[in-house]
Structure 1
Amino acid sequence: MFSGGVAIIGGMRFDDFDQRGYPEVDVRTGYGAWAATYDGSVLDAMDIALLDRLKEPRWSTVDIAADLGCGTGRTGAWLRANGVSTVHGVDLTPEMLDGARKRGAHAKLVEADVTATGLPSGHYQLITASLIDEHLDDLAPLYREAARLAAPGGTFVLVGYHPQFMMVSGMPTHYTDGDGESVTISTNLHLVSAHVSAALAAGWRLAEMREALIDDHWAEAKPKWERFRGQPISVAYVWRTG
């Protein structure tokens, strides 16, 4: 993951939408504290369910993938279960990497920034990034790094919070600390157009896009979210080189 402040995107600051006002910490501090309870607080409906809906890539044809912002290894485990032969993971937070190491889905784990991974250029048929883009000041370095890592004909799959949900809910990325208090992890707001602009500038072309909505599953898991029913909560982009 990448440690960043609050970015201005299209004249908007997430601060202008924040309805919680929780104390804020940087990304490495926040995910270090959240790591032990992270898997129990993030629903698969947020990201894994979107991966399940994608028509491409054909996961079982991927020999090697780079999992950027791999966290505790949730995405890496899904990739392996869906036929990806080898996955290398990168994350900024040692505690999250410890979780990924215990899960055992990654052949290699690297502590590094997702925008400067140190992984070899042109090596990966697939690059993934899940639930990390809201922590970036600027999307361009992530898309450029993914392009550097991609083998010819490679694919970049990015899953993130939907900006519309962030604006409507006014809820930053946050966790509950050991004292039961809610803490914000530095959160940015990036419009869909910001993703498209950054991706095109890095040489990517959009191959597929899927959105997940607040539905019965979400309302059952989080009854207070009934008022958000029908709102998009997350989005998946599939980018191709060339």
Structure 2
Amino acid sequence: MPTFADFDRRNYPTVDVATGYDGWAPTYERTVMDSMDLALLDRLRQPQWGAVRRAADLGCGTGRTGDWLRQQGVAHIDGVDVSAGMLERARERGVHTSLRQADVRETGLASGNYDLVIASLIDEHLPDLGPFYAEARRLAAPGATCVMVSYHPQFIMVTGMPTHYTPASGEPVAISTHLHLLSEHMTAALSAGWILTEITEALVDDTWLAAKPKWSALRGQPFSLALVWSAP
């Protein structure tokens, strides 16, 4: 399988996930666009968000996804993130029922307790997808849905750009990035007992180019995707 190192064009200094997101937390909200992830959630035909009773928000970050879920009528949302800095912002936002610092592959949340498990823009930080999908399946109640929003592997391969941020020093810092083909998602999720029920992709379009005009050569390239899985 190809790795991110095969495509990396930036060669930024790289830090681990917790360190990176602790450093990014103060400016994260100013640099992440809704078209990356929340716009994809808006386009999904399932789940019926208002019917979700309990959601596990894995890699909850500053609470952007949790806030969106609240707006759709989800009343109970338990958030998990490895970064203390991101969790501090999520607490300030106040949309989660509970928050805990833990790895998304070993959350410590109760088994079979959630009819929605959702993760957004985190899979590129996992060297292996199997443990994530297995943990999501452990958390899932019968008939539950798992939604994974990901950077598109094609975008990563075309641009050679890792997930990164720019601290006060002005020198970009990469956060440990891994490349996962769609086949890896399929293999890992199916092995964990999930069934694929929907997939949608977002492209670099006028909305993106208004914010990032230097990306004009990338018009039409897929940027992110959402995978929807169901549990039997």
- TM tier, shorter chain? over 0.9
Which residue of the partner structure matches residue 66 of structure 2?
A: 76
Which residue of the partner structure matches residue 111 of structure 1?
A: 101
> Following the alignment from structure 1 to structure 2, what is the Cα–Cα distance between the partners of residues 137 and 148?
20
Give the drift of 1:16. Answer: 1.3
Give the drift of 1:221. Answer: 0.5
1:90 equivalent to 2:80? Answer: yes
Give the drift of 1:178. Answer: 1.1
**SS of equivalent residue, structure 1 residue 36:** coil
Which residue of the partner structure matches residue 177 of structure 1?
A: 167
Which of 173, 178, 195 in structure 2 is aligned with 1:188? 178
Alignment size in residue pairs: 232
Which residue of the partner structure matches residue 38 of structure 2?
A: 48
1:235 equivalent to 2:208? Answer: no
1:209 equivalent to 2:202? Answer: no
**SS of equivalent residue, structure 2 residue 25:** helix
> Following the alignment from structure 1 to structure 2, what is the Cα–Cα distance between the partners of residues 224 and 170?
15
Which of 198, 215, 221 in structure 1 is aligned with 2:211? 221
Gaps of 5+ in 2: none
1:167 equivalent to 2:165? Answer: no
Give the drift of 1:33. Answer: 0.3
> Following the alignment from structure 2 to structure 1, what is the Cα–Cα distance between the partners of residues 211 and 109?
38
> Following the alignment from structure 2 to structure 1, what is the Cα–Cα distance between the partners of residues 226 and 109?
24
> Following the alignment from structure 2 to structure 1, what is the Cα–Cα distance between the partners of residues 125 and 53?
29
How high is the sequence identity, in percent, across the aligned residues? Answer: 62
What one-letter code is carried by the residue in structure 2 that aligns with 1:113?
D
Q: TM-score, normalised by structure 1?
A: 0.95
**SS of equivalent residue, structure 2 residue 27:** helix
Which residue of the partner structure matches residue 131 of structure 1?
A: 121
1:63 equivalent to 2:29? Answer: no
> Following the alignment from structure 1 to structure 2, what is the Cα–Cα distance between the partners of residues 28 and 203?
29
Question: Cα deviation per residue 1:45-77 (whole Å; 9 max; x = unaligned)?
Answer: 000000000000000001110000000000000
Which residue of the partner structure matches residue 24 of structure 2?
A: 34
Give the drift of 1:174. Answer: 0.2
> Following the alignment from structure 2 to structure 1, what is the Cα–Cα distance between the partners of residues 100 and 213?
38
What one-letter code is carried by the residue in structure 2 that aligns with 1:67?
D
Question: Cα deviation per residue 1:99-123 (whole Å; 9 max; x = unaligned)?
Answer: 0000111010010000000000000
- Runs of 4+ off more than 2 Å: none
Give the drift of 1:85. Answer: 1.3
**SS of equivalent residue, structure 1 residue 118:** coil
Question: Cα deviation per residue 1:84-103 (whole Å; 9 max; x = unaligned)?
Answer: 11100000011100000001
Which residue of the partner structure matches residue 9 of structure 2?
A: 19
Gaps of 5+ in 1: 1-9
